[in-house]
Amino acid sequence: MAQTDPETAELWERFHALVNMPSPDLRAWLGTAPTDPEAYRFDPDLDVVEAGPNVLQLLEKRRTDLTAADTALMRQVTDVIAAWLADAHEDDDRWRHSLMSLGHDPLKPDSPRGDETTAVPQGATG
């Protein structure tokens, strides 16, 4: 069995802590999510509509099967989720839909708030 380096293992744990929607839930959401780009709060470097299916593919991978592109996407997605949670707009459907399209439902009880996003426990899994 292939081993992963500690940095990738830490990123894997952080990704799975912040992506708190199981793959069946994310798949269902992506099937009903708005496809109009105006429906989302875009990060200039991340197309949420495109990233969602890639996040779903990551959820279905084993850690030992990750590619460099996978780890880059995991890093980008965790950074975006953490930034959007730190700047919460809980009454804004576009904010929630954007997060959900990346695999994070901010209404779930395990969703970190504000500064908690930088303190996602190591070893936490989603």
Asked if residues 62 and 91 have their Cβ atoms less than 8 Å apart, the reply is no
| pLDDT surpassing 80 at residue 70 | yes
pTM (2 decimals)? 0.80
Asked if residues 84 and 96 have their Cβ atoms less than 8 Å apart, the reply is no
Q: Bin 94: left if φ > 0, else alpha if -120 < ψ < 50, else beta.
A: alpha
| pLDDT surpassing 80 at residue 35 | no
- Lowest mean pLDDT, pick from 13-22, 30-39, 100-109: 30-39
Quote the Cα angle for 29-30-36, to 5°: 115
- In percent, how much of the chain has pLDDT > 70? 75
Query: Rounded mean pLDDT of the chain?
Result: 81
| pLDDT surpassing 50 at residue 11 | yes
CA terminus-to-terminus distance, the chain: 23
Q: So what's the pLDDT on residue 1?
A: 37
For residue 63, how far is the Cα from the chain centroid? 16
Residue ranges of the domains in the chain? 6-119
Residue with token string 């996040």: 55
Asked if residues 19 and 55 have their Cβ atoms less than 8 Å apart, the reply is yes
Coil vs helix vs strand at 46: strand
Distance in angstroms (rounded) separating the CA atoms of residues 3 and 38: 41
Interval 74-82 mean pLDDT: 93
Segment 84-107, tens digit of pLDDT = 888 877 777 888 888 999 999 998
Q: So what's the pLDDT on residue 38?
A: 65
Interval 43-49 mean pLDDT: 68
